[in-house]
Amino acid sequence: MYAALAANLPFSDSAIVLIIATSFITYRIFKRFEPQRPTLVGFLLIVIPSLLVPALHLHVPSLPLSVAITFTLYYCLILLYIAIYRLSPFHPLAKYPGPIKNKLSKFTTSYIVSTGTQHMYFKQLHQRCGDIVRTGPNELSVNCADAVQPILGAGGLQKGPYWSNRDPDGHLPSVLTTTDPVQHKQRRRTWDRAFSTAAIKNYHDIIVRNTRELLGHFEKRAGQQIDFSMWMRHFSFDFMGDIVFGTRFNMMQAGCDVTGVWNMLEAGTALFTTVAHTPWLITYLRFIPGAAKVRTRVFAITEEYVNRRVEQGSNTKDLFYYLTDEEGVESNRPSMPTVQSDGPLAVIAGSDTVATTLTVLWYYFLRNPLIFSRLRDEVDAYFPLGEEPLDFTRMVNMPYLNACINEALRLLPPVMSGSPRYVKPGSRGMMVGPYFVPEGSQVFSHTYTLQRNPRYFSPLPNSFWPDRWLPEQDRHKISSHEEFILDPTAFQPFSFGPASCVGKNLALVELRAVTCFITQRFDFKPKEGFRMESWEEGIEDYFVAKRPALPVVVEVRR
C-alpha cells in the first residue's frame, strides 16, 4: 500500500510515517481504553488528523486535497488495523467459528435486530457453526445447557456493554440494566418482596377482576372477528397498570391504546435493543435533534405515572408500595430517581411477556384442536361448568395445563435471545461449559435455540407437544423412534440465577388463571382464509417478542 501511494502522490516519507504512526497510536488507544466521551473521541478523530494536515500540505499545494487525503488515510488505516486484528489468529476468539462480517463489527447484529429476525438468525448460525458461535468481534453465543449455570447462575458473570449507556442523562439505570452485582442485589430486595408468595396473594383479586372484564368483552363480540393478540395485550397492560401503579390504562374498555403509552414503549424497546449492540452510538444520537425522541418520551410518560402514584400514596399493596418501601423495611428508603428508573421496566416486562405466552398458547391450540380438547377436559374436571376457576392453588396441580404453558414457553419464550453477560478484564477468562471464554468477551446463552435443541428436547423439538412434560405413563404415544429426552437445565424461559425474572411466579399464576377462564367459556376458530403458519413467521425479536395479529372468530362455548 505504501509503495503504491509513494509512486502516485508527492508524499514525503516523513508525512507518510507520521500519519501511519499516529493512526496506529489512536487505534491502540481505542482498543485499550474504548473511550466514549465525545470530547476525547473528537480529539482523537478530528483534532489529531487536523494537526497532521500541515505536514502533508508542504508537499500537496491544494489545502482541501491535503485535508481529504490526510483524513481518509488516517481513518482507513485505523479501520485496517481493526480488521486485521479481529480477523487475525492472535485475536482471543480466533478459534471460534462465525461469519467474517460478525467478526469485523457488531453493526451486522444491530442491522439484524432492526429487522426483528434476531432469534432466527442466531439459530441458523448455530445450525451452521455448532454449539458456540462468534457473533461479534468480542462476543460469543452458546447453545449448550452446561453453559447456563456459569453464565447466569450464582457466582457467574455480570452484565456488561450490552446493558450500558441506555438511560438518558440524569436517569439512573433500572434494576434490569444495573451492571454492578452489589447494587443489583440491593435493589432486587424490594422487587423480591413485591413478588413474594404473600404479595402475590394480594394480586389474585386483580387477576380475577381483569380476567372477568376480558371475558365480558369477548361475550359482546361473540360471532365476530377479533385480534386475539391485541386483546391479550390490552388485558395484560390493564392488569399491569393495576398492580404497578394502582390505576387503570383502560385499554380493554377503549379497545385501543388511547394514551399511546404502549406504542411508545414498543418503539422504545425496539430502539434500545437495536443500539444495545453498539452502545456507544447512543452517546452521539443524543446530539442529533429528534433522534432520541422515542427514548426520551418513554421515560417521560412512565415518569409521569410514577410521580402521580407516589403523590397519591397506596390504596392497595401494589408494586410501588414495595418499590417505594412504604412498609419501612429498608433502613434507607429508595430515592425518587431510583423508583422512577424502574417505571418502564415494571410495565413492559410484566405485560408484554404474559401477552406473548397467552397468544402463543392459542396459536398452538388453533393448530392442534385435539390438544385443546384435552386441556378443556382437564379444566372441566377441576372446575365443572358453572364454577369459576378461582382456586389458584388447584391450578398448580393441573398437569396438562402446566404442560401446555411450559411447551409454549419452550418454543417461543417471550425473551428469545437471552441476556448477555461479560467476562471482566483482569479476570483471566473463565470456562463456560466446555468452552473457555477470554476476559473482555461478552457471552450469552441463546434461549430460542437452546430450547429447541434435540439434545435436550426430543422427539419433536420444534413441535408443540405438551406430553413431553407429563410422566411417562400419562404421555400419549407418538410415531417416533427417537429417544425421549427432557433436560430441565436447558429450559430457561425466565432466565436463570440472581438476575432471573423476578415476576416469574406471578406470571405463572396469571397464565394459569386466564387460560382456565378462557378455556372454560370460549371457542375460537381462525379467520377464514388466514394461513395459520404465517403467524409464527411474523414474530419479531426486539429483546421481548413482538407479535403479529392473530385474527380469530370468538364464540361462546355451548
For 544, the 3-state DSSP assignment is strand
Distance CA 141, CA 97 (A): 11
Phi/psi at 259 (nearest 5 deg)?
Answer: -90, -15
> 524: part of which helix (H) or strand (E)?
strand 522-526
C-alpha dist (Å) from residue 428 to 71, 133, 156, 425:
37, 21, 14, 7
For 162, the 3-state DSSP assignment is helix
522-526/551-556 β-pairing: antiparallel
b/e 498-536 (16+ beta carbons within 10 angstroms → b): ebebbbeebbbbbbbbbbbbbbbbbbbebeeebeeeebe
501 has binding-site annotation: yes
Is the Cβ–Cβ distance between 436 and 378 less than 8 Å? no
- Angle at which helix 343-367 crosses helix 399-411, to 10 degrees, equals 110
What lies within 8 Å, CB to CB, of 491 at 6+ separation is: 406, 409, 410, 451, 456
544-546/540-542 β-pairing: antiparallel
Distance CA 123, CA 127 (A): 6
Tell me the residue type at 496: F
Distance CA 236, CA 230 (A): 10
What lies within 8 Å, CB to CB, of 246 at 6+ separation is: 309, 312, 314, 315, 316, 318, 320
Distance CA 314, CA 242 (A): 12
What lies within 8 Å, CB to CB, of 233 at 6+ separation is: 251, 262, 351, 352, 355, 547
Q: Which grid coordinates are listed for 215?
A: 371475558
For 253, the 3-state DSSP assignment is helix
Query: Which of 490, 514, 473, 491 has its CA nearest to residue 375?
Result: 514
Q: Which residues contribute to the annotated binding site for heme?
A: 501
Q: Which residues contribute to the annotated binding site?
A: 501
